[in-house]
Structure 1
Amino acid sequence: MVDYRNYTVWKKAHGLVLDIYKTTRNFPAEEKFNLISQLNRAALSIPTNIVEGCGRETQKEFLRFLYIASGSAFELEYLILVSTDLKFIDKASSEKLTSDIMEVKKMLYSLIKKVKSNLNSAKN
């Protein structure tokens, strides 16, 4: 079991959650159960899955949760795009959030590669 707070990707994803929540506060009220909920859940899913994976007993299980976190990052990226196209997020905020999401995606990819490499080394 690993302390999730030791992972830089978790720290970055946690900050992203806070930024998404701040951003969705400005959305129209009628989006409360639509885009607001979807954005918040997708953002929360990233660090939550990292945390859950850290609590698992095997690296293989951890890897599965990292893949789920990665999928949520891709989902979040699209939700930012559609929110921008609908004029719920201004261009500057959208670019900052998208950049942060891209960084999280790259960090997850690197961690996934590392865990897979460790798993393959353990098999040999």
Structure 2
Amino acid sequence: MHNFKKLNIWIDGMEIVSETYKLTKTFPDSEKFGLVSQMNRCAVSIPSNIAEGTSKSSDKHFNKYLEDSLGSAFELETQLIIAYREKYLAEEKYNILIKKINQLQKMISGFKSRLSKSLDS
């Protein structure tokens, strides 16, 4: 079992949640039940799956939750691209968030790889 609050992937995921909420508050009202809702749910899902995975009885089960978390990160990246193409955010903000999401994707992938190697040993 891991203490999720000490995992950098969880900490960085929580930061992305905050930034996503701040960003989506600026979107048009017409997106309230569309892109806003979807982006917020995806962002929340990233650290939530990491936290839930730490409660599992085996690293094999934890790995599945990390996979779900990674999937949510890719989903959020896609939604951010959509928001940028719809001109809901400036290029500078877009680039900053994409970079953070991509970095987190790499971190989660690396964590999964290390966890898988420990399962193989």
TM-score (normalizing by structure 2):
0.98
Partner AA of 1:16 in structure 2: I
Partner AA of 1:60 in structure 2: K
Deviation at 1:90, TM superposition (A): 1.0
Deviation at 1:60, TM superposition (A): 0.5
Matched, 1:22 2:50: no
Deviation at 1:79, TM superposition (A): 0.4
Matched, 1:82 2:82: yes
Give the root-mean-square deviation of aligned CA atoms.
0.5
Q: Residue deviations 1:14-63, cap 9 Å, x none?
A: 00000000000000011010000000011111000000000111101000
Deviation at 1:2, TM superposition (A): 1.4
Matching residue of 2:51: 51
Matched, 1:105 2:105: yes
Partner AA of 1:55 in structure 2: S
- Distance (Å, rounded) in 1 between the aligned partners of 2:35 and 2:83: 8
- Distance (Å, rounded) in 2 between the aligned partners of 1:87 and 1:119: 45
- Distance (Å, rounded) in 2 between the aligned partners of 1:53 and 1:92: 34
Deviation at 1:100, TM superposition (A): 0.3
Matching residue of 1:39: 39
- Distance (Å, rounded) in 2 between the aligned partners of 1:41 and 1:90: 22
Q: Any gaps of 5 or more consecutive residues in structure 2?
A: none
Matching residue of 2:12: 12
Name the % identity.
34
Deviation at 1:117, TM superposition (A): 0.3
Q: Residue deviations 1:63-82, cap 9 Å, x none?
A: 00000000000000010000
Partner AA of 2:115 in structure 1: V
